[in-house]
Amino acid sequence: MTDKRERPPVPEALPAPVIDAHTHLDACGAVDAAGVAELLDRANAAGVSHVITVADDLKAAQWAAEASTWDPRVYAAVAVHPTRTSTFGDVEKAELERLAVQPRVVAIGETGLDYYWDYSPPAAQHEAFRWHIDLSKRVGKPLMIHDRDAHEDILKVLEAEGAPSTVVFHCFSGDADFARRCVDAGYVLSFAGPVTFKNARALQEAARLVPRDQLLVETDAPFLTPHPFRGRPNEPYCVNYTVRDLATLRGEDLSELCVAVTRNAQRVFGLDY
């Protein structure tokens, strides 16, 4: 019987390198430069060349920004997650302002709304979301959206505030109708492990219709490990499994899809390699 604590096997390298557009290296167990290098070495063996490590609170934002300076394969995104916004105030804002302008911080995220968990009042989430939208526009970096059970309100807030020039829906979770609305608005949709789940019919339908130039792939590691390893620890190398499934799902050549999502990530986040 497989030990659920055991990592999935590192798969054969992809035919062209891809970027994990959203991961949490600290939550994957990295604490220092050596730990980050170990995770990225495994990712490289699977054809995953670079990652964006993403914050969910102020401490994680500070860590992500610092970690992006330890290894040229790592970039960072900084924000306070919507479930952590009950105490979001001047201290958090001042520090995020400082971190957001650092050169290897390439996005403001993850921010948005989460109506699944009852950790932060909706009013606090909305206020913080609006502030992050403004920060994204002021520093000229993409906005990375966390959207859980909040599709309509996410779109309403973006419309009311005026969306930044680049908006990424991390771990896209909507159906085909919601995907079309996001695509029509010019937003970028990033797909993670759930698109490989056998019961994710609506999500798979959405993934089929996204234009190739508005598509990213990610792990959201250590969460949401792709099929057939659901429930086991996730790492950036596992984006290999997701992009393979996406190529099959969309009826595309794997090499061409790898090249496309890498170019998209480079364009969206302004990556300097």
CATH of the domain at 201: 3.20.20.140
pLDDT along the chain (273 residues), means of 10: 80 98 98 98 98 96 98 98 96 98 98 95 97 98 98 98 98 98 98 97 98 98 97 97 98 98 98 88
The pLDDT value given to residue 3: 65
**What's the pLDDT at 1?**
47
Identify the pLDDT of residue 206: 98
Question: Looking at the domain assignment, is residue 3 inside a domain?
Answer: no
**3-class DSSP state of 40:** helix
The DSSP result for 43-88, as a single string, is HHHTTEEEEEEE-SSHHHHHHHHHHTTT-TTEEEEE---GGGGGG-
In a domain, 95, yes or no: yes
Is residue 58 included in any domain, yes or no? Answer: yes
Is residue 77 in some structural domain? yes
- The per-residue pLDDT for 263 is 98
Residue 124: partners with Cβ closer than 8 Å, 6 or more residues away: 85, 86, 88
- Say what the pTM is: 0.96
How many angstroms separate the CA atoms of 195 and 192, rounded? Answer: 6
Inside any domain, residue 9: no
Check: CB of residue 74 under 8 Å from CB of residue 25: yes
197 in a structural domain: yes
Q: Is residue 190 part of a domain?
A: yes
Rounded to the nearest 5 percent, the helix, strand and coil shares of the chain are: 45, 15, 40
Position 7 in a domain: no
Domain, as residue range, for 38: 18-269
- For the chain, how many structural domains are there in total? 1
